[in-house]
Structure 1
Amino acid sequence: MIVFIKNIFIILFSLTIMSCSTQRKENFKAKEIYKSENLIITQISENSYIHTSFKQTNDFGNVPCNGLIVKNNHETIVFDTPTNNQNSEELIHWITENLHSKINAVIPTHFHDDSLGGLQAFHYKKIPSYAYSGTISLAKENNFVVPENSFNDSIVLKVGNEKVIVKFFGEGHTKDNSIGYFPSENILFGGCLLKELEATKGYLGDANVSQWSATVEKVKKEYPNVQIVVPGHGEYGNKQLLDYTIKLFGIQ
Protein backbone atom coordinates (compact mmCIF):
# COMPACT_ATOMS: atom_id res chain seq x y z
CA MET A 1 0.00 0.00 0.00
CA ILE A 2 2.80 2.39 0.91
CA VAL A 3 4.60 1.60 -2.37
CA PHE A 4 1.36 2.22 -4.30
CA ILE A 5 0.86 5.63 -2.63
CA LYS A 6 4.49 6.50 -3.25
CA ASN A 7 4.15 5.66 -6.96
CA ILE A 8 0.97 7.74 -7.23
CA PHE A 9 2.81 10.66 -5.61
CA ILE A 10 5.70 10.35 -8.07
CA ILE A 11 3.31 10.31 -11.04
CA LEU A 12 1.37 13.34 -9.78
CA PHE A 13 4.60 15.21 -9.04
CA SER A 14 5.92 14.47 -12.56
CA LEU A 15 2.66 15.61 -14.17
CA THR A 16 2.76 18.84 -12.14
CA ILE A 17 6.33 19.56 -13.24
CA MET A 18 5.43 18.88 -16.89
CA SER A 19 2.34 21.07 -16.64
CA CYS A 20 4.30 23.94 -15.12
CA SER A 21 6.99 23.64 -17.78
CA THR A 22 4.39 23.69 -20.58
CA GLN A 23 2.63 26.64 -18.99
CA ARG A 24 5.87 28.58 -18.77
CA LYS A 25 6.50 28.04 -22.50
CA GLU A 26 2.95 28.96 -23.48
CA ASN A 27 2.79 31.98 -21.18
CA PHE A 28 6.16 33.46 -22.18
CA LYS A 29 5.67 37.03 -23.30
CA ALA A 30 8.16 38.29 -25.86
CA LYS A 31 10.01 41.43 -24.85
CA GLU A 32 12.49 43.81 -26.39
CA ILE A 33 15.55 43.64 -24.15
CA TYR A 34 18.07 45.75 -26.08
CA LYS A 35 17.79 48.60 -28.54
CA SER A 36 20.36 50.90 -30.10
CA GLU A 37 20.41 52.92 -33.30
CA ASN A 38 21.51 49.90 -35.32
CA LEU A 39 20.46 46.79 -33.41
CA ILE A 40 17.37 45.45 -31.63
CA ILE A 41 17.27 42.24 -29.59
CA THR A 42 13.92 40.64 -28.70
CA GLN A 43 13.61 37.66 -26.39
CA ILE A 44 10.96 35.33 -27.80
CA SER A 45 11.31 32.31 -25.48
CA GLU A 46 13.27 31.25 -22.44
CA ASN A 47 16.44 30.60 -24.46
CA SER A 48 15.94 32.26 -27.86
CA TYR A 49 16.37 35.81 -29.09
CA ILE A 50 15.79 37.58 -32.41
CA HIS A 51 18.50 40.07 -33.40
CA THR A 52 17.34 42.71 -35.88
CA SER A 53 19.61 45.04 -37.85
CA PHE A 54 18.80 47.22 -40.86
CA LYS A 55 19.66 47.41 -44.55
CA GLN A 56 19.01 50.47 -46.71
CA THR A 57 17.63 49.42 -50.11
CA ASN A 58 16.53 51.28 -53.22
CA ASP A 59 13.30 49.35 -53.72
CA PHE A 60 12.11 48.61 -50.18
CA GLY A 61 13.56 51.42 -48.02
CA ASN A 62 15.31 50.73 -44.69
CA VAL A 63 14.55 47.03 -44.23
CA PRO A 64 14.72 45.29 -40.82
CA CYS A 65 16.67 42.02 -41.10
CA ASN A 66 16.25 39.21 -38.56
CA GLY A 67 18.64 36.63 -37.20
CA LEU A 68 18.31 34.26 -34.25
CA ILE A 69 20.34 33.52 -31.12
CA VAL A 70 19.76 30.25 -29.24
CA LYS A 71 21.27 29.58 -25.82
CA ASN A 72 21.91 26.73 -23.41
CA ASN A 73 24.32 26.49 -20.45
CA HIS A 74 26.20 29.71 -21.24
CA GLU A 75 26.75 28.73 -24.86
CA THR A 76 25.04 30.26 -27.89
CA ILE A 77 24.71 29.75 -31.63
CA VAL A 78 23.83 32.64 -33.96
CA PHE A 79 21.84 32.25 -37.17
CA ASP A 80 22.63 34.97 -39.72
CA THR A 81 24.88 37.91 -38.97
CA PRO A 82 23.71 41.50 -38.69
CA THR A 83 24.01 43.43 -41.93
CA ASN A 84 27.55 44.76 -41.40
CA ASN A 85 30.63 44.21 -39.25
CA GLN A 86 29.96 47.13 -36.92
CA ASN A 87 26.54 45.76 -36.01
CA SER A 88 28.00 42.27 -35.64
CA GLU A 89 30.59 43.59 -33.19
CA GLU A 90 27.75 45.13 -31.19
CA LEU A 91 25.86 41.83 -31.17
CA ILE A 92 28.92 39.80 -30.14
CA HIS A 93 29.60 42.24 -27.29
CA TRP A 94 25.98 42.03 -26.12
CA ILE A 95 25.98 38.22 -26.09
CA THR A 96 29.27 38.12 -24.19
CA GLU A 97 28.40 40.79 -21.63
CA ASN A 98 24.65 40.25 -21.15
CA LEU A 99 24.10 36.55 -21.78
CA HIS A 100 27.54 35.74 -20.31
CA SER A 101 27.85 33.16 -23.03
CA LYS A 102 30.38 31.81 -25.47
CA ILE A 103 29.37 31.88 -29.15
CA ASN A 104 29.98 28.36 -30.46
CA ALA A 105 29.14 29.15 -34.08
CA VAL A 106 27.57 31.56 -36.54
CA ILE A 107 25.48 30.15 -39.39
CA PRO A 108 24.68 32.30 -42.44
CA THR A 109 21.60 30.76 -44.07
CA HIS A 110 22.22 32.23 -47.54
CA PHE A 111 24.76 34.35 -49.39
CA HIS A 112 23.08 37.80 -49.32
CA ASP A 113 24.46 40.52 -47.05
CA ASP A 114 21.42 40.40 -44.76
CA SER A 115 22.66 36.93 -43.85
CA LEU A 116 26.47 37.17 -43.91
CA GLY A 117 27.22 40.90 -44.27
CA GLY A 118 28.81 41.02 -40.82
CA LEU A 119 30.65 37.70 -41.00
CA GLN A 120 34.17 39.13 -40.86
CA ALA A 121 33.54 40.45 -37.32
CA PHE A 122 32.79 36.88 -36.15
CA HIS A 123 35.91 35.55 -37.85
CA TYR A 124 37.98 38.30 -36.22
CA LYS A 125 36.78 37.02 -32.83
CA LYS A 126 37.73 33.44 -33.83
CA ILE A 127 34.06 32.34 -33.88
CA PRO A 128 33.68 29.45 -36.36
CA SER A 129 31.17 29.79 -39.19
CA TYR A 130 29.18 27.04 -40.90
CA ALA A 131 27.15 27.18 -44.11
CA TYR A 132 25.63 25.03 -46.82
CA SER A 133 28.16 24.28 -49.58
CA GLY A 134 26.06 26.27 -52.07
CA THR A 135 26.30 29.34 -49.84
CA ILE A 136 30.07 29.02 -49.77
CA SER A 137 30.22 28.74 -53.57
CA LEU A 138 28.00 31.79 -54.08
CA ALA A 139 29.94 33.83 -51.50
CA LYS A 140 33.15 33.08 -53.40
CA GLU A 141 31.56 33.94 -56.76
CA ASN A 142 30.41 37.31 -55.45
CA ASN A 143 33.65 38.13 -53.60
CA PHE A 144 31.93 38.15 -50.20
CA VAL A 145 33.44 36.93 -46.94
CA VAL A 146 33.34 33.14 -47.14
CA PRO A 147 32.06 30.91 -44.30
CA GLU A 148 34.78 28.60 -43.00
CA ASN A 149 33.03 25.21 -42.71
CA SER A 150 30.62 23.62 -45.18
CA PHE A 151 27.96 20.92 -45.15
CA ASN A 152 26.29 19.27 -48.15
CA ASP A 153 22.83 18.46 -46.82
CA SER A 154 22.56 19.08 -43.07
CA ILE A 155 24.62 19.49 -39.94
CA VAL A 156 23.92 19.13 -36.21
CA LEU A 157 25.79 21.42 -33.81
CA LYS A 158 25.87 21.40 -30.03
CA VAL A 159 24.87 24.35 -27.88
CA GLY A 160 25.32 23.46 -24.20
CA ASN A 161 23.39 20.23 -23.63
CA GLU A 162 21.10 20.88 -26.60
CA LYS A 163 21.52 20.81 -30.36
CA VAL A 164 20.62 22.83 -33.43
CA ILE A 165 19.93 21.39 -36.86
CA VAL A 166 20.78 23.24 -40.06
CA LYS A 167 19.47 21.78 -43.31
CA PHE A 168 19.10 22.62 -46.99
CA PHE A 169 15.66 21.66 -48.35
CA GLY A 170 15.78 23.17 -51.83
CA GLU A 171 15.74 26.44 -53.73
CA GLY A 172 13.44 29.38 -53.05
CA HIS A 173 14.55 32.90 -52.15
CA THR A 174 17.98 31.84 -53.40
CA LYS A 175 19.60 28.64 -54.68
CA ASP A 176 21.26 28.10 -51.30
CA ASN A 177 18.76 29.09 -48.57
CA SER A 178 19.04 26.75 -45.56
CA ILE A 179 16.89 26.44 -42.42
CA GLY A 180 17.80 26.36 -38.72
CA TYR A 181 15.87 24.41 -36.08
CA PHE A 182 16.20 24.45 -32.27
CA PRO A 183 14.36 21.28 -31.15
CA SER A 184 14.35 21.97 -27.39
CA GLU A 185 12.04 24.95 -27.96
CA ASN A 186 10.56 23.94 -31.32
CA ILE A 187 11.81 27.14 -32.94
CA LEU A 188 12.40 27.36 -36.68
CA PHE A 189 14.61 30.04 -38.22
CA GLY A 190 13.44 30.27 -41.81
CA GLY A 191 15.53 33.22 -42.88
CA CYS A 192 14.51 34.77 -46.18
CA LEU A 193 12.92 31.53 -47.40
CA LEU A 194 9.93 32.31 -45.17
CA LYS A 195 7.69 35.39 -45.25
CA GLU A 196 5.87 37.16 -42.45
CA LEU A 197 2.09 37.15 -42.71
CA GLU A 198 0.74 39.57 -45.35
CA ALA A 199 4.22 40.12 -46.82
CA THR A 200 4.76 40.60 -50.55
CA LYS A 201 7.10 38.38 -52.55
CA GLY A 202 9.95 40.84 -52.01
CA TYR A 203 13.29 40.70 -53.81
CA LEU A 204 13.34 37.94 -56.45
CA GLY A 205 16.64 38.66 -58.21
CA ASP A 206 18.21 35.36 -57.15
CA ALA A 207 15.01 33.38 -56.54
CA ASN A 208 13.63 30.15 -57.90
CA VAL A 209 9.97 31.09 -57.70
CA SER A 210 8.73 27.86 -59.29
CA GLN A 211 10.37 25.72 -56.57
CA TRP A 212 9.75 27.99 -53.57
CA SER A 213 6.43 26.50 -52.39
CA ALA A 214 7.64 22.91 -52.80
CA THR A 215 10.73 23.67 -50.72
CA VAL A 216 8.65 25.14 -47.88
CA GLU A 217 6.32 22.12 -48.06
CA LYS A 218 9.35 19.93 -47.29
CA VAL A 219 10.24 22.11 -44.31
CA LYS A 220 6.67 21.89 -42.99
CA LYS A 221 6.70 18.10 -43.27
CA GLU A 222 10.09 17.79 -41.56
CA TYR A 223 9.11 19.84 -38.49
CA PRO A 224 5.45 19.14 -37.64
CA ASN A 225 5.89 20.23 -34.00
CA VAL A 226 7.23 23.70 -34.73
CA GLN A 227 5.76 26.36 -32.43
CA ILE A 228 7.68 29.53 -33.31
CA VAL A 229 8.73 30.52 -36.84
CA VAL A 230 11.16 33.40 -37.45
CA PRO A 231 11.31 34.86 -40.98
CA GLY A 232 14.23 36.82 -42.42
CA HIS A 233 12.22 40.05 -42.33
CA GLY A 234 9.25 41.22 -40.28
CA GLU A 235 7.23 39.70 -37.46
CA TYR A 236 7.76 36.17 -36.22
CA GLY A 237 4.79 33.86 -35.66
CA ASN A 238 3.81 30.20 -35.76
CA LYS A 239 3.46 27.58 -38.51
CA GLN A 240 0.97 29.88 -40.29
CA LEU A 241 4.05 31.55 -41.80
CA LEU A 242 4.85 28.28 -43.56
CA ASP A 243 1.32 28.03 -44.96
CA TYR A 244 1.32 31.69 -45.98
CA THR A 245 4.64 31.35 -47.84
CA ILE A 246 3.46 28.17 -49.59
CA LYS A 247 0.29 29.92 -50.72
CA LEU A 248 2.10 33.14 -51.74
CA PHE A 249 4.47 31.36 -54.10
CA GLY A 250 1.92 28.82 -55.23
CA ILE A 251 0.25 31.68 -57.13
CA GLN A 252 2.17 32.12 -60.38
Structure 2
Amino acid sequence: MKRILLLSVVLLASCGSQTEAVTPPATEALAADRFLTELRADYPVTLSPIAEGVWVHTTHYTLPGQAPIPVNGLVVIDGEAVTLIDAAWGELATLSLIDAVREETGLPVTRLVVTHHHADRTQGVDAAEREGLEVFTHPDTPTLAARAGWPVPNTSVAALDAPQSRTRVGKIELAFPGHGHAPDNLIAYLPDSNILYAGCAVRGAESRTLGNTLDADLPLWRESLLWTKATYPNTQTVVPGHGKGANLSLIDATVALIDAELGQAN
Protein backbone atom coordinates (compact mmCIF):
# COMPACT_ATOMS: atom_id res chain seq x y z
CA MET A 1 0.00 0.00 0.00
CA LYS A 2 2.83 2.41 0.82
CA ARG A 3 4.36 1.74 -2.59
CA ILE A 4 1.00 2.36 -4.29
CA LEU A 5 0.58 5.68 -2.46
CA LEU A 6 4.11 6.69 -3.44
CA LEU A 7 3.45 5.91 -7.08
CA SER A 8 0.17 7.83 -6.94
CA VAL A 9 1.95 10.95 -5.72
CA VAL A 10 4.47 10.69 -8.56
CA LEU A 11 1.70 10.25 -11.13
CA LEU A 12 -0.26 13.24 -9.82
CA ALA A 13 2.86 15.37 -9.99
CA SER A 14 3.48 14.37 -13.60
CA CYS A 15 -0.11 14.61 -14.89
CA GLY A 16 -1.52 17.57 -13.01
CA SER A 17 -0.49 20.29 -15.47
CA GLN A 18 0.54 20.89 -19.04
CA THR A 19 4.17 21.19 -17.93
CA GLU A 20 5.15 17.75 -16.67
CA ALA A 21 6.98 17.71 -13.38
CA VAL A 22 10.06 15.51 -13.35
CA THR A 23 11.08 13.97 -10.04
CA PRO A 24 14.79 14.56 -9.48
CA PRO A 25 16.81 11.32 -9.26
CA ALA A 26 17.96 12.21 -5.73
CA THR A 27 14.33 12.55 -4.63
CA GLU A 28 13.43 9.21 -6.21
CA ALA A 29 16.32 7.51 -4.44
CA LEU A 30 15.29 9.07 -1.13
CA ALA A 31 11.71 7.88 -1.58
CA ALA A 32 12.90 4.37 -2.45
CA ASP A 33 15.16 4.27 0.61
CA ARG A 34 12.30 5.44 2.81
CA PHE A 35 10.02 2.77 1.37
CA LEU A 36 12.55 0.01 2.03
CA THR A 37 13.20 1.29 5.55
CA GLU A 38 9.50 1.22 6.36
CA LEU A 39 9.12 -2.16 4.65
CA ARG A 40 11.90 -3.69 6.74
CA ALA A 41 10.32 -2.26 9.90
CA ASP A 42 6.88 -3.64 9.04
CA TYR A 43 8.18 -7.02 7.84
CA PRO A 44 11.29 -7.82 9.90
CA VAL A 45 13.69 -10.52 8.74
CA THR A 46 16.03 -12.61 10.88
CA LEU A 47 19.11 -14.06 9.19
CA SER A 48 20.83 -16.73 11.29
CA PRO A 49 24.18 -18.01 9.95
CA ILE A 50 24.57 -21.80 10.15
CA ALA A 51 27.60 -22.34 7.87
CA GLU A 52 29.94 -20.33 5.69
CA GLY A 53 27.74 -18.57 3.15
CA VAL A 54 24.51 -20.13 4.49
CA TRP A 55 21.81 -18.53 6.64
CA VAL A 56 18.38 -19.56 7.85
CA HIS A 57 15.96 -16.75 7.05
CA THR A 58 12.95 -16.41 9.31
CA THR A 59 9.94 -14.16 8.87
CA HIS A 60 6.50 -14.27 10.48
CA TYR A 61 2.93 -14.40 9.24
CA THR A 62 -0.11 -13.70 11.39
CA LEU A 63 -3.45 -15.38 10.80
CA PRO A 64 -6.52 -13.85 12.51
CA GLY A 65 -6.76 -14.92 16.12
CA GLN A 66 -3.42 -16.74 16.10
CA ALA A 67 0.08 -16.03 17.29
CA PRO A 68 2.58 -15.08 14.56
CA ILE A 69 3.77 -18.15 12.64
CA PRO A 70 7.54 -18.38 12.05
CA VAL A 71 8.43 -19.22 8.44
CA ASN A 72 11.91 -20.52 7.62
CA GLY A 73 13.94 -20.74 4.45
CA LEU A 74 17.60 -20.77 3.44
CA VAL A 75 19.94 -18.18 1.99
CA VAL A 76 22.82 -19.77 0.07
CA ILE A 77 25.73 -17.94 -1.54
CA ASP A 78 26.60 -19.72 -4.77
CA GLY A 79 29.49 -18.05 -6.57
CA GLU A 80 28.76 -14.37 -7.15
CA ALA A 81 25.03 -14.61 -6.47
CA VAL A 82 22.52 -15.83 -3.90
CA THR A 83 19.87 -18.53 -4.04
CA LEU A 84 16.84 -18.45 -1.75
CA ILE A 85 15.28 -21.75 -0.77
CA ASP A 86 11.71 -20.64 -0.13
CA ALA A 87 10.73 -17.00 0.22
CA ALA A 88 8.62 -15.33 2.89
CA TRP A 89 4.86 -15.74 3.32
CA GLY A 90 3.54 -12.73 1.39
CA GLU A 91 4.74 -10.33 -1.29
CA LEU A 92 5.82 -7.43 0.93
CA ALA A 93 7.54 -9.79 3.35
CA THR A 94 9.40 -11.32 0.40
CA LEU A 95 10.53 -7.89 -0.82
CA SER A 96 11.77 -7.18 2.70
CA LEU A 97 13.60 -10.53 2.70
CA ILE A 98 15.30 -9.91 -0.65
CA ASP A 99 16.43 -6.45 0.50
CA ALA A 100 17.78 -7.85 3.78
CA VAL A 101 19.70 -10.58 1.96
CA ARG A 102 21.22 -8.11 -0.51
CA GLU A 103 22.34 -5.92 2.37
CA GLU A 104 23.77 -8.85 4.35
CA THR A 105 25.64 -10.51 1.48
CA GLY A 106 26.39 -7.61 -0.84
CA LEU A 107 25.38 -9.90 -3.72
CA PRO A 108 22.41 -10.10 -6.09
CA VAL A 109 19.64 -12.59 -5.33
CA THR A 110 19.07 -14.47 -8.58
CA ARG A 111 17.34 -17.77 -7.81
CA LEU A 112 14.39 -19.00 -5.75
CA VAL A 113 13.52 -22.61 -4.97
CA VAL A 114 9.84 -23.06 -4.08
CA THR A 115 9.50 -26.32 -2.15
CA HIS A 116 5.75 -26.87 -2.58
CA HIS A 117 2.48 -25.19 -3.52
CA HIS A 118 1.08 -24.13 -0.14
CA ALA A 119 0.50 -20.46 0.61
CA ASP A 120 3.45 -20.14 2.99
CA ARG A 121 5.76 -21.08 0.09
CA THR A 122 4.08 -19.51 -2.95
CA GLN A 123 2.66 -16.18 -1.77
CA GLY A 124 5.99 -14.46 -2.32
CA VAL A 125 6.52 -15.86 -5.82
CA ASP A 126 5.10 -12.94 -7.79
CA ALA A 127 7.25 -10.45 -5.89
CA ALA A 128 10.35 -12.61 -6.38
CA GLU A 129 9.73 -12.98 -10.11
CA ARG A 130 9.13 -9.23 -10.38
CA GLU A 131 12.59 -8.77 -8.84
CA GLY A 132 14.02 -10.98 -11.59
CA LEU A 133 14.60 -14.21 -9.63
CA GLU A 134 14.63 -17.46 -11.60
CA VAL A 135 12.26 -19.97 -9.99
CA PHE A 136 12.80 -23.71 -9.52
CA THR A 137 10.03 -25.99 -8.27
CA HIS A 138 8.34 -29.34 -8.75
CA PRO A 139 6.56 -29.77 -12.11
CA ASP A 140 3.19 -30.16 -10.35
CA THR A 141 3.56 -27.05 -8.19
CA PRO A 142 2.23 -24.49 -10.72
CA THR A 143 -0.94 -26.53 -11.34
CA LEU A 144 -1.51 -27.27 -7.65
CA ALA A 145 -0.97 -23.62 -6.72
CA ALA A 146 -3.42 -22.48 -9.39
CA ARG A 147 -6.08 -24.92 -8.16
CA ALA A 148 -5.63 -23.68 -4.62
CA GLY A 149 -5.85 -20.05 -5.67
CA TRP A 150 -2.26 -19.16 -4.74
CA PRO A 151 0.32 -17.33 -6.87
CA VAL A 152 1.67 -19.57 -9.63
CA PRO A 153 5.40 -20.02 -10.26
CA ASN A 154 6.28 -19.39 -13.90
CA THR A 155 8.77 -22.26 -14.20
CA SER A 156 9.51 -25.71 -12.80
CA VAL A 157 12.11 -28.50 -13.08
CA ALA A 158 11.10 -31.47 -15.22
CA ALA A 159 13.91 -33.61 -13.77
CA LEU A 160 12.12 -33.65 -10.39
CA ASP A 161 8.92 -35.25 -11.63
CA ALA A 162 9.43 -38.81 -10.35
CA PRO A 163 9.64 -39.77 -6.67
CA GLN A 164 13.21 -40.13 -5.39
CA SER A 165 14.56 -38.03 -8.25
CA ARG A 166 17.44 -35.58 -7.76
CA THR A 167 19.08 -32.77 -9.70
CA ARG A 168 21.52 -29.91 -9.13
CA VAL A 169 20.90 -26.20 -9.13
CA GLY A 170 24.36 -24.72 -8.74
CA LYS A 171 25.87 -26.06 -5.52
CA ILE A 172 22.47 -27.18 -4.20
CA GLU A 173 21.07 -30.67 -4.71
CA LEU A 174 17.30 -30.66 -5.03
CA ALA A 175 15.36 -33.85 -4.46
CA PHE A 176 11.76 -34.99 -4.63
CA PRO A 177 11.43 -37.77 -2.03
CA GLY A 178 7.81 -38.40 -2.98
CA HIS A 179 4.43 -37.46 -1.58
CA GLY A 180 4.69 -36.33 2.03
CA HIS A 181 3.36 -33.22 3.75
CA ALA A 182 2.28 -32.23 0.24
CA PRO A 183 2.29 -34.13 -3.07
CA ASP A 184 5.00 -31.87 -4.48
CA ASN A 185 7.30 -31.24 -1.51
CA LEU A 186 10.95 -30.82 -2.45
CA ILE A 187 13.97 -30.90 -0.17
CA ALA A 188 17.42 -29.35 -0.66
CA TYR A 189 20.84 -30.63 0.38
CA LEU A 190 24.09 -28.68 0.63
CA PRO A 191 26.91 -31.25 0.36
CA ASP A 192 29.61 -28.69 1.21
CA SER A 193 28.15 -28.14 4.67
CA ASN A 194 25.96 -31.25 5.17
CA ILE A 195 22.84 -29.12 5.62
CA LEU A 196 19.45 -30.56 4.73
CA TYR A 197 16.62 -28.11 4.18
CA ALA A 198 13.65 -30.42 4.64
CA GLY A 199 11.08 -27.62 4.74
CA CYS A 200 7.59 -28.67 5.73
CA ALA A 201 8.45 -32.34 5.15
CA VAL A 202 9.70 -32.33 8.75
CA ARG A 203 8.28 -30.77 11.89
CA GLY A 204 10.24 -28.31 14.02
CA ALA A 205 12.02 -29.60 17.11
CA GLU A 206 9.34 -28.16 19.41
CA SER A 207 6.39 -29.63 17.46
CA ARG A 208 4.12 -32.22 19.04
CA THR A 209 1.68 -32.61 16.14
CA LEU A 210 1.90 -33.03 12.36
CA GLY A 211 0.23 -29.67 11.75
CA ASN A 212 -1.65 -29.27 8.48
CA THR A 213 -2.22 -32.72 6.95
CA LEU A 214 -4.95 -31.84 4.43
CA ASP A 215 -2.67 -32.64 1.48
CA ALA A 216 -0.57 -35.27 3.25
CA ASP A 217 -0.41 -38.98 2.54
CA LEU A 218 0.83 -40.37 5.86
CA PRO A 219 2.18 -43.77 4.68
CA LEU A 220 3.95 -42.15 1.71
CA TRP A 221 5.19 -39.32 3.91
CA ARG A 222 6.79 -41.88 6.21
CA GLU A 223 8.38 -43.66 3.23
CA SER A 224 9.68 -40.37 1.83
CA LEU A 225 11.30 -39.44 5.14
CA LEU A 226 13.01 -42.81 5.48
CA TRP A 227 14.36 -42.43 1.94
CA THR A 228 15.62 -38.94 2.78
CA LYS A 229 17.46 -40.14 5.87
CA ALA A 230 19.03 -43.05 3.97
CA THR A 231 20.01 -40.81 1.04
CA TYR A 232 21.66 -38.10 3.13
CA PRO A 233 23.21 -39.97 6.09
CA ASN A 234 25.98 -37.39 6.54
CA THR A 235 23.52 -34.63 7.34
CA GLN A 236 24.55 -32.58 10.36
CA THR A 237 21.87 -29.89 10.33
CA VAL A 238 18.20 -30.24 9.39
CA VAL A 239 16.18 -27.06 8.82
CA PRO A 240 12.37 -27.34 9.01
CA GLY A 241 9.87 -25.07 7.29
CA HIS A 242 8.62 -23.83 10.66
CA GLY A 243 10.19 -23.83 14.09
CA LYS A 244 13.54 -24.93 15.42
CA GLY A 245 16.09 -27.00 13.54
CA ALA A 246 18.25 -29.86 14.81
CA ASN A 247 19.90 -32.89 13.20
CA LEU A 248 18.49 -36.07 11.65
CA SER A 249 16.52 -36.55 14.86
CA LEU A 250 13.92 -34.24 13.28
CA ILE A 251 13.20 -36.94 10.70
CA ASP A 252 12.92 -39.57 13.43
CA ALA A 253 10.59 -37.35 15.45
CA THR A 254 8.37 -36.65 12.44
CA VAL A 255 8.21 -40.36 11.60
CA ALA A 256 7.18 -41.03 15.22
CA LEU A 257 4.36 -38.48 14.92
CA ILE A 258 3.20 -40.15 11.70
CA ASP A 259 3.31 -43.57 13.34
CA ALA A 260 1.24 -42.28 16.25
CA GLU A 261 -1.32 -40.79 13.87
CA LEU A 262 -1.48 -44.00 11.83
CA GLY A 263 -1.88 -46.01 15.01
CA GLN A 264 -4.82 -43.90 16.07
CA ALA A 265 -6.39 -44.34 12.65
CA ASN A 266 -6.13 -48.16 12.79
Please report the TM-score for the alignment, with normalisation by the length of structure 1: 0.79
Larger Rg: 2
Would you say 1:190 and 2:180 are equivalent positions? no
- For residue 116 of structure 2, what is the aligned residue in structure 1? 110
Q: Counterpart amino acid of 1:83?
A: W
Pairwise CA distance, 1:65:
0.8
CA contact (8 A) 2:195 2:237 kept: yes
Q: Work out the CA distance in 2 between the residues paired with 1:176 and 1:114.
A: 14
CA contact (8 A) 1:50 1:66 kept: yes
The structure with the largest strand share of the pair is: 1
Distance 1:225 1:59, change over 3 A: farther
**4+ long deviations beyond 6 Å:** none
Q: Work out the CA distance in 2 between the residues paired with 1:210 and 1:126.
A: 38
Q: Deviations over 1:180-223 (max 9, x none)?
A: 11111111111111112241211112211222111100111111
Aligned-residue Cα RMSD (Å) equals 1.7
Aligned pairs (5 A) from 1:30-69: 37-38=42-43, 39-57=45-63, 61-69=67-75
Q: Work out the CA distance in 2 between the residues paired with 1:77 and 1:132.
A: 16
- For residue 246 of structure 2, what is the aligned residue in structure 1? 237
Would you say 1:222 and 2:231 are equivalent positions? yes
Pairwise CA distance, 1:73:
3.2
- For residue 81 of structure 2, what is the aligned residue in structure 1? 75
Q: Deviations over 1:54-106 (max 9, x none)?
A: 12236863211111111133321111110011111111112222201122310
**How many aligned positions are there?**
214
Would you say 1:168 and 2:176 are equivalent positions? yes
**3-state SS of the aligned residue for 1:214?**
helix
Pairwise CA distance, 1:37:
5.0
**Structure 1 portions without partners, runs of 5+:** 1-34
CA contact (8 A) 2:206 2:243 kept: no
Q: Work out the CA distance in 2 between the residues paired with 1:151 and 1:246.
A: 28
**3-state SS of the aligned residue for 2:72?**
strand
Aligned pairs (5 A) from 1:123-142: 123-142=129-148
Q: Counterpart amino acid of 2:56?
A: I
Q: Work out the CA distance in 2 between the residues paired with 1:90 and 1:40.
A: 11
Query: Which residue, out of 239, 251, 258, partners 1:249?
Result: 258
**Structure 2 portions without partners, runs of 5+:** 1-39, 161-165
Q: Work out the CA distance in 2 between the residues paired with 1:79 and 1:60.
A: 26
Please report the TM-score for the alignment, with normalisation by the length of structure 2: 0.76
